[in-house]
Amino acid sequence: MNYHLSYWYTDEKSWLSDRYNTWQANTQTKDVRYNASDRANRTSIVYGSLTYSVPELIGKMGMSVGSTVNYGDVRKHDYLYHPDTLLLASQLDMLNAITDPANSYDSHVYGIRAEPNITFSKRKYYQVGDSPVKIFYDQWRMGVSVPILHEALDYQRGVIDTTVYRHTALLSPYVSFRTVSPGGNHSFSVNLRYDLKDVDFYDRVNYRDDSQPLVVKLGNPDLKKKANTTVSVDYTDRWGKNERQWHIAATYNYQHRDVAQSVNYNPETGVYTYKPVNVDGAYSGTAKFDYSQALGEKKYWRWQMNADANYRHSVDYAMLAGETESHRNVVNTTTLHDGAYIQYSKGMLNLRASGDVSWRHSVGRMYDFETLNVWDFNYGLSGRYTIPKLKTTVALDATMYSRRGYGSSELNTNDFLLNASLSQSFWKGKIIARLEAFDLLHNLSATQYEVNAQGRVETWYRSLPHYVMLHLVYHWNKNPKKL
C-alpha cells in the first residue's frame, strides 16, 4: 500500500501600471489611456493519494486500485482603474470613481477533484547473462482512470454576478503490451491511451474584457471537453561486446477535439476580438531510429546517431490579410531530422564533436500561405578536463547555429555560441563552486523568432542573451542509523 499527503499555499499580490497611446487614422484622433491594476491570487491545495496492489490476484495476474483526491480553493482579485478619469483632486482616495467595473472581477473557485483508477496486469521477468537477479516487468496492462470533478465558481464582474457549477465524470482507458527476450537484449512494446479533459473554467464564463484599447477577450459557455487518442510502438535491440544498440519507435496522436482562439477585426476601430472555440481533426505521426555503439577494445570512443520524421496536420483559426474574420485553417508540416556525435572519454578528459540538421516543409490551405522549405542546422565541439592535483574542472563548448530558407533576414541567421565554465570543489567535495559564462562573444540577440505549427512567425523575448553566473552547491549526506 502506498499513500501520500501534501498541502500547498500561495499568496501573491501585485500592482501594474500601463499607458496606451492609440492613433485612429480614419478619424485623425489620438486616444491616451492610463491603466492601473490591483491583482491578488490566493491558492490553497490539499492533495492525497492512496494505492493498494495485489501482485497475484488470479495466477500471475495482478490488480492495483487507488485514487488521488485534490481539494482546491483559489481566490482571485483583479481590479482595473483609470486614474485619468478623475475630475476633482478630492476624488484621489475614492477608488470607486476610477474603477472600471466591466474589467474588474473577483472570483472564487473551490471544489474536489478525485481520480479513482483500477489496473490489471500480468508480470514476467528476464535475467541478464548468468546473473541470478530477476528483473520483473508488466507483460500487459489494462485499466481505466475516471477523473471526477465537483467545482463551483463564484464570479463577480460588472453586471455579472453568478455562480457556475461543474460536475463531470470523465473516462480515460489505457492498454499496453510488452515482451522482453530471456536475456533482455530484445524488447517490444505497444501502448494505446484515450484521454478526456475539461477546458479551463474561466473560458466558459460569458464575460467581456476590453481592458486593452485594441484587444477584446470573450468567454464561451458552449466549449466542449478536449479529447485525444495516442498509440505508440517501440522496439529495442542490444547485442555484442561493444554495447551496440538500435532502437525504433513510432507514435500517432489524434485530437478528437481541442480549443483554439478565433479572432474578429474591426477596421474602423482597429480592435481585435478573441474568443475560444472548439476545433477537431488535428493529428500527428512520428517515427524515430537511434543507433549507438562503443568503438575499440577499451571503449574510449563512442558514437551515436538519431533520426526522426514527423508529419503534423495542424488545425487552428487564422485570419487572412485584408479579412475581418478568422477561419478554420489547416497546415500540413513534414519535418525530417538527423543528429549525430562522436565522443572520446578517458579518465578526466572528455571531447565531443556533434552535428544536427532538420528540414521542414509546410503547406497551408489558405491562399496567402507561403510554402515553407527551411533548414535548421548546428555543429560544434565541446570538451571537459579535470586537473588531477587541483581537482579543477575546465569546460568549453563552441557551436554554430544556422537557419536557411526563411522569408525574412531576421530568421536566416548564423549564431556562433561560445560558452565556458570553471568549477572547483572544497571541503572534501562537500562544497562546489562553479563559474559559468554563457555567450562569451555576445552573438545572441535578446529577440528570437520562431515559426509555429501554423507557419506563422512568433517572437520570443529573452532578457539575458549572455551572462556570467556563479554557482555554489553544498552537498550534505546523512546515513540512517543501523537497527
In order, the DSSP letters of 71-125 are: EEEEEEEEEEE-GGG--SGGGTT-HHHHB-GGG-EEEEEEEEEEEEEEEEEEEEE
Hey, which bits of 365-411 come out as E strands?
Answer: 372-387, 392-404
Cα 318 from Cα 40, distance rounded (Å): 34
Residues in the chain: 483
- Residue 87 binned pLDDT confidence (cut-offs 50, 70, 90): very low
Greatest alpha-carbon pair distance for the chain in Å reads 90
Contact 18, 34 (CB under 8 A): yes
Domain 224-482 bears CATH identifier 2.40.160: yes
Which pLDDT does position 92 carry in this prediction? 46
Please state the φ and ψ torsions of residue 203, each to the nearest 5 degrees: -65, -20
Q: Cα(first)–Cα(last) distance of the chain, in Å?
A: 23
- Residue 451 binned pLDDT confidence (cut-offs 50, 70, 90): low
How confident is the model over 42-63, as pLDDT tens digits? Answer: 999 999 999 998 888 787 788 9
Domain boundaries, the chain: 1-186, 224-482
Cα 311 from Cα 336, distance rounded (Å): 9
Cα 286 from Cα 307, distance rounded (Å): 11
pLDDT, mean of residues 69-73: 94
How confident is the model over 347-373, as pLDDT tens digits? Answer: 899 999 999 999 999 888 776 677 888
Percent pLDDT > 70 in the chain is 91
How confident is the model over 363-417, as pLDDT tens digits? Answer: 887 766 778 888 999 999 999 999 988 889 999 999 999 989 887 777 788 989 9
Neighbours of 189 (CB within 10 A): 19
- Residue 262 binned pLDDT confidence (cut-offs 50, 70, 90): very high
Cα 282 from Cα 279, distance rounded (Å): 8
Cα 418 from Cα 465, distance rounded (Å): 12
Cα 418 from Cα 333, distance rounded (Å): 32
How confident is the model over 147-203, as pLDDT tens digits? Answer: 999 999 999 988 888 888 889 888 899 999 999 998 888 999 999 999 999 888 888
Contact 147, 172 (CB under 8 A): yes
